[in-house]
Structure 1
Amino acid sequence: MKVLKFGGSSVRDHQNIKKVIAIITQKSKEDKLAVVVSAFGKTTDKLLKSAELAQEKNEAYLSIINEVEKHHFETIEQLPLHNSSEVIEQVNKQFNQLKTLYKGCYLLEELSPKAKAIISSFGERISSYIISEAAKTSLNATFKNSQDLIITDDNYLKAQVDFETTYSNCSSFFSECNYQVVILPGFIAKCYNGQTTTLGRGGSDYTASIFAAAIHAEELQIWTDVSGMYTANPTIVKQAKPIQHISYEEAMEMSHFGAKVIYPPTIQPVREMKIPILIKNTFYPDQEGTLITVDSDKSSSVKGITHVENVSLITVEGSGMVGMSGISKRLFAALSDNNINVILITQASSEHTICVGVLEEDAQKAVKCITQKFQNEIDQHKIDPIIIENELSIIALVGDNMKNHQGLSGKMFSALGKNNVNIRAIAQGASEKNISAVIKKLDAKKALNTLHEQFFGDNIKQLNLFVTGVGNVGNRFLAQLQQQKEYLLTNLKLNIRVIGLSNSTKMYFDENGIDLTNWKELLLTKGEPTSLNHFLYRSKEYNMRNSVFVDNTANEEVSKMYQHYLENNIAVVTCNKIACASELNNYKTLKKVSSKYNAPFLFETNVGAGLPIIDTLKNLIASGDRVHKIQAVLSGSLNFVFNNFTNAVTFHDIVAQAQKEGYTEPDPKIDLSGVDVARKILILARESGFELELSDIENNSFLPKNSLDTTNNKDFYESLLQFESHFQEIYANANSENCKLKYVAEFENGKAKVGLQHIPKNHPFYNLEGSDNIVLFFTDRYPIQPIQIKGAGAGADVTASGIFADVIRVGNN
């Protein structure tokens, strides 16, 4: 014989009930069945809510109970029934009894545990009767009230079962029952005096387990709306996978720590009898599900990651606790006497502190009873006032085989630490089947996804990007991300998603990742007004692991947001030079904050676009080398301009061409004034370990003062036409010396300068073509023949590729 249990979602309405009967029909061809059913989906919640409203003399309870009644009769109308008129009459009688109970609660303004138990029992009583009558039309089936079989104490809402009497009752009934299928209500029982009791919320699973153990069933099947137990909650961790095989102990640990597929007490009765539990999906009955037995598959060390929300941590501490016997006994006795369940326990080896985790709903009661128990010690200052922390969660790694694998705790806490998840308390039993940690409730989703990626992610790391700036560079960056998506996943084990996008007017978010084939339309049609602060707020609110803020702008206000991102453990990748060339204190602060919060701050594209200039410099410094001198052409735009400027074209036209082809900033004066080059040499000097301000850089600008004083692009370009003779004179002077014009940055002996120079033919800079950059590093190890880095130093594609490379560096961090 097998026992099948169908949960509330499985019997929610007439369509689902028909699916349940189809499953029962198929299974009954092979075995006799005891079928335990829950109330129709959410019915018990509504019954209890109505009762609470009635107690408060709120007549809204009537609309809820009428809604529940209507749903049941609509279900009856849609089901083929053995005797419809009799079913309608019996169900109507049940609802009349229920309404009488509500009326009593309303008049007396009272809702005792006994009344709650009776009211909440109606869901299962009615549903099991309706389903049994539907089953009788095609099956050799009968109905049996579980209250005739399961006997408990008088703890009405979470009754303790008298197993000896219950097993005897079950054995007698089922041994004499000749029906192929018996339908029974879950959750409900009765105490010795015949009063209704319940087995706790989720107790229908427990009911089925009791019956399975009592009759030594071949198997207990739990039919629900998911395909078994998962490696994590699939509504929170999208990559969660079904677990095919798990042990009783693993299942008990996972259910205790929040896996809602199975009610925690369910496992114990069948475990004693070594009866397998099979968890199946009512809506996908052909899927394999999860098998729970004595032993499980040993191939993986961690079987699942689970969590409990709404937890409070209560701390009892004080110098008077050290070496004092009986403290723990008194603490747990106080909690037990007040029916407070302890979820987690941890104690300092010094005996100075004991922490216990309880549900938030029990926290104030727990503090009160502990305070009363230790009032004398508190008054004598031997124990400090009891500390309570709310809005916490417990996360737990579960697996029988964890004890045979070294370093699991290290991997767990390292992964959490890298994502700035602070751990308040840790607990691990000597059996090592479970490692638990208490964290902020707000961090639970990030922690679960982080740990799942660590232990079940096939070594695939997910990066979540928040991208500001989708112009030339940003557009190419997003195109490169889309183009390389499969390559990154296959070869680098990186799953890079864009969660937020922003331009100067609109921003758009998608928690599951923005479709990069359609981002322009999504931003245009579904975007909300842009706000730098709100973009930051949304990035923080999502609280995703491995988050990265990508700045593709040249905007100073955006650069002022970096510290806020870093402080929230969100990495920053930027091509915007303003932050790193800002005041020295701000630059140093960003570096410190990045280190403190373990959030990378990468800006390779600040100098040389996609060229590995800063990365090379960092490696030199990290290896102990020292930089003495830097010579560089660092402006791809200026190099393009002076490589193409001759006496045959106007300076104005060459600058306009450079801007059109994406070589200059949106404001070309930034490039031509030398400010951009000054910022770049400043950044290189700072990365070399020297403390300079932008004002320390000597900038010998070739632009006339009138051009420098313009306030918009139109006036700037007009000034270039006005001073064409000035620019032609600069060209002629260089040409007369057989030299080329290059805008050179130099750093030596702690001083830096930038300016236009005449470069002779034998100089490394002479043949620098197009928009190329070149950097020469003279160091202790390279004093005469410097390290030389040369290549394209401007353009949307190469800058985007440099940003892309920094994002990959974050992924590899």
Structure 2
Amino acid sequence: MVSPTSSRASSASSSPPRTPPNLHQNSIDPSAKWLVQKFGGTSVGKFPVKIAQEIVANYVDDNKVAVVCSARSGSTKALGTTSLLLRAASEALRRGPSGPKRNGSVDTPGIMTPVTKSVFGSSTTPPQSTSPPSSPRARNGSSARDGSPTTSFGGFTPMTPPPPDFHATADIIRQEHLKAARASVQDPDIRRQLEDEIERDCDWLLHYLSAAQIIDEVSPRSRDTIVGLGERLACKIMTAGIDAEYVSLDDIVPQVDDSDNALGSGSLDQGFYDNLTVALGERIRQCGSRVPVVTGFFGPVPGSLLQQVGRGYTDLLSALLAVGLEASELQIWKEVDGIFTADPRKVPTARLLSIISPDEAAELTYYGSEVVHPFTMEQVIRRKIPIRIKNVDNPQGGGTVIFPDHDADAVQVEETGGTVPEPASLTMLENLSLMAEAHHHRKMPTAVTIKEKIVVLNVNSNRKSVSHGFLAGIFSTLDRFGVVVDLISTSEVHVSMAIEDSLAQKLLDRLVTELRKSGTVSVHPEMAILSLVGKQMRNMVGIAGRMFTTLAQGNVNIEMISQGASEINISCVIDAHDAIKALNLIHQSCLNITPEPAAGPWLF
């Protein structure tokens, strides 16, 4: 097993442990193409040894592999490392008995607290326990208290305030990563060095949060820095089983003066990302034959990474790295076999899609399926780099390829064998393109998906304003409230809108009150958006009629219909309790023309 190794870009906090010899290295063939593999937080948390020894090691002989890791996930999203780090940042600003006060005063250690009297008249400590202060280097959850009895002075006993809440949160992060290190690394010397690394990183977190508490501020850039610790910890553990080089990207972005954009009010343009890809490629090529294990966090960026990009920055980084290395392929490893024609947990006849177009993948992402964010996809597709989604728990499966086939209309390819061979050269990529074009004549939809937790707002004009004023009033109101509309259907005096049911009730009530200035408003909760997606549907006469006839025959009521905004998507809003029935009806009617056996879980 290998623990983290020194890196030109490693964090300055420590010197990573040594590396045993005779382990897998990247191919030294100068003609070998780069392959970027991105592993999500759940995979990193559950399969670190398998990733290193069975997946990465299987590719390095014929490729130059670069690995990108997300922060480790927990049993729930709230217990994931990133969520815990964000919670700790918030706790640093929380006011409590142990934290700084608004007026600048602080609780003083050693406060004299009255003691109680026993029935025999002797003094004792108070019956309630007070949490002891936590040492910045309290290992394995140990307390700084030595267990000696307290001494009372004239009816008072010296008490120290409990530690801030972020100490407990940081200790959860510490213990989770120590547990992972012990489970992943067998060599005792390397494991001990890795544990020391984790201890030092978590100590840094405590000091950083303590400083933030003293100054009573966590800026957007400071929050980025705190969150970046998650990827650093994950990468250090993930360098097990291969001759790897830990690469931190904390300093990859050139320092710029972004005082005018301190709060992230602006946006990063494509030129910024193009320059970043060049810097990423140069940095990773310096690793030589060693496999670079790269933090998904790259920062600080102008205006804050979390505000400019969001929590999907690891996927974006892997895409930018693939462009910078001119990779043959970007692989995104999850716990699913790929993209299916429907969710097989709800539709037993769903089939794995071998190839799908970027436009179709984007539509599925917008309407309920967790594929790849469209902006992330765009970065690699525009450079004609395919994206392959694969299953960590089934590495031999072919997965689903999002193929940059902008010249080919039909991309739904379901080969006899059910999988697409993984490209080892440009010739294989050319074969994939020919396969897509060979199936151009197959005019049928690609997938059907459902997006639940939807609310429909219907607004009828009060006819006091002309149509353009009516629509302008509605859209300006939505803009002020920051509401994103998934589907909209309009006429001169009527607007129906489908939005996510994510607004707090008070905010929704305020939105409805404002919309009533434009007309009568009705609210319909517990709805769902049913979407039929396929690039060939633009040439399919009668597909919309088949879809809606099928729903009518299944006694599924349609609240609203949206067609025309996208040439490859027909959507409608239905009652949420009809969602599963509608999925199966549409899949059978519009997608199950040539039944094929179902396979594995779906990316959802």
* Range into which the TM-score falls when normalised by the shorter chain: 0.5 to 0.7
Distance in 1, Cα, partners of 2:214 & 2:471: 45
Structure 1 position 114, deviation (Å): 5.4
Q: Say whether 1:89 aligns with 2:196.
A: yes
Q: Name 2:589's counterpart in structure 1.
A: 454
For structure 2, the 5+ residue unaligned runs are: 1-33, 75-79, 97-163, 406-410, 413-439, 596-604
Q: Name 1:129's counterpart in structure 2.
A: 236
Distance in 2, Cα, partners of 1:238 & 1:126: 39
Distance in 2, Cα, partners of 1:393 & 1:203: 29
* Aligned amino acid, residue 284 of structure 1: N
Q: Name 1:325's counterpart in structure 2.
A: 468
Residues 246-300 of structure 1 deviation map (CA, whole Å, 9 limit, x = unaligned): 1111111111112114334321111211211111111111111101113313425
Structure 1 position 101, deviation (Å): 5.9
Contact 1:367 1:388 (8 Å CA) reproduced = no
Q: Name 1:25's counterpart in structure 2.
A: 57
Distance in 2, Cα, partners of 1:231 & 1:414: 20
Q: Say whether 1:445 aligns with 2:589.
A: no
Q: How does 1:569-608 map to 2 (within 5 A)?
A: none
Q: Say whether 1:3 aligns with 2:108.
A: no
Distance in 1, Cα, partners of 2:576 & 2:262: 36
Select 1:272's aligned residue among 364, 376, 382: 382
SS of the residue corresponding to residue 573 of structure 2 reads strand
SS of the residue corresponding to residue 499 of structure 2 reads strand
1:194 to 1:303, Cα distance in 2 relative to 1, 3 A = closer
Does 1 or 2 have the higher relative contact order (CA < 8 Å, sep 6+)?
2
Select 2:71's aligned residue among 33, 39, 46: 39
Q: How does 1:385-396 map to 2 (within 5 A)?
A: 385-396=520-531
Q: How does 1:110-121 map to 2 (within 5 A)?
A: 117-121=224-228
SS of the residue corresponding to residue 468 of structure 2 reads coil
1:334 to 1:430, Cα distance in 2 relative to 1, 3 A = closer
Contact 2:84 2:173 (8 Å CA) reproduced = yes
Q: Name 1:75's counterpart in structure 2.
A: 180
**Greater helix content:** 1
Q: Name 1:302's counterpart in structure 2.
A: 445
Structure 1 position 414, deviation (Å): 2.1
Q: How does 1:358-397 map to 2 (within 5 A)?
A: 358-362=499-503, 365=507, 368=510, 378=517, 383-397=518-532
* Aligned amino acid, residue 225 of structure 1: E
Structure 1 position 7, deviation (Å): 1.1
Residues 213-245 of structure 1 deviation map (CA, whole Å, 9 limit, x = unaligned): 233321111111111111122333333221111
Distance in 2, Cα, partners of 1:156 & 1:94: 27
Distance in 2, Cα, partners of 1:436 & 1:359: 15
* Aligned amino acid, residue 69 of structure 1: R
Q: Name 1:539's counterpart in structure 2.
A: none
SS of the residue corresponding to residue 498 of structure 2 reads strand
Distance in 2, Cα, partners of 1:160 & 1:227: 33
1:388 to 1:157, Cα distance in 2 relative to 1, 3 A = farther
SS of the residue corresponding to residue 66 of structure 2 reads strand
Structure 1 position 76, deviation (Å): 0.8
Structure 1 position 180, deviation (Å): 4.2
Distance in 2, Cα, partners of 1:45 & 1:403: 42
Q: Name 2:454's counterpart in structure 1.
A: 311
Residues 407-466 of structure 1 deviation map (CA, whole Å, 9 limit, x = unaligned): 221222222223332222211235520011122233222222222222334588xxxxxx
Contact 1:187 1:201 (8 Å CA) reproduced = no
Contact 2:221 2:303 (8 Å CA) reproduced = no
Fraction of identical pairs, as percent: 28
Select 2:248's aligned residue among 106, 129, 145: 145
The normalised TM-score by structure 2 is 0.65
Contact 2:245 2:287 (8 Å CA) reproduced = no
Contact 2:52 2:238 (8 Å CA) reproduced = no
Contact 1:314 1:367 (8 Å CA) reproduced = no
SS of the residue corresponding to residue 11 of structure 1 reads helix
| CA RMSD in angstroms, aligned pairs only | 3.7
1:459 to 1:169, Cα distance in 2 relative to 1, 3 A = closer
Q: Name 2:276's counterpart in structure 1.
A: 166
Contact 2:265 2:303 (8 Å CA) reproduced = no
SS of the residue corresponding to residue 144 of structure 1 reads strand
Q: Name 1:470's counterpart in structure 2.
A: none
Q: Name 2:570's counterpart in structure 1.
A: 435
SS of the residue corresponding to residue 233 of structure 1 reads coil
1:128 to 1:16, Cα distance in 2 relative to 1, 3 A = closer
Distance in 2, Cα, partners of 1:420 & 1:109: 58
Distance in 2, Cα, partners of 1:150 & 1:274: 25
SS of the residue corresponding to residue 288 of structure 1 reads coil
SS of the residue corresponding to residue 44 of structure 2 reads coil
1:360 to 1:430, Cα distance in 2 relative to 1, 3 A = closer
Q: Name 2:540's counterpart in structure 1.
A: 405
Residues 498-534 of structure 1 deviation map (CA, whole Å, 9 limit, x = unaligned): xxxxxxxxxxxxxxxxxxxxxxxxxxxxxxxxxxxxx
SS of the residue corresponding to residue 41 of structure 2 reads coil
Residues 142-180 of structure 1 deviation map (CA, whole Å, 9 limit, x = unaligned): 222234335797566997463143133224324544244
Q: How does 1:643-654 map to 2 (within 5 A)?
A: none
Residues 374-415 of structure 1 deviation map (CA, whole Å, 9 limit, x = unaligned): 78xx2xxxx215444333221211100011112221222222
Larger radius of gyration: 1
Distance in 2, Cα, partners of 1:338 & 1:417: 36
SS of the residue corresponding to residue 278 of structure 1 reads strand
1:108 to 1:438, Cα distance in 2 relative to 1, 3 A = farther
For structure 1, the 5+ residue unaligned runs are: 461-813
Contact 1:158 1:197 (8 Å CA) reproduced = no
Distance in 2, Cα, partners of 1:420 & 1:158: 48
Distance in 1, Cα, partners of 2:94 & 2:552: 47
The normalised TM-score by structure 1 is 0.49
Distance in 2, Cα, partners of 1:397 & 1:291: 20
Distance in 1, Cα, partners of 2:348 & 2:218: 41
SS of the residue corresponding to residue 199 of structure 2 reads helix
SS of the residue corresponding to residue 409 of structure 1 reads helix
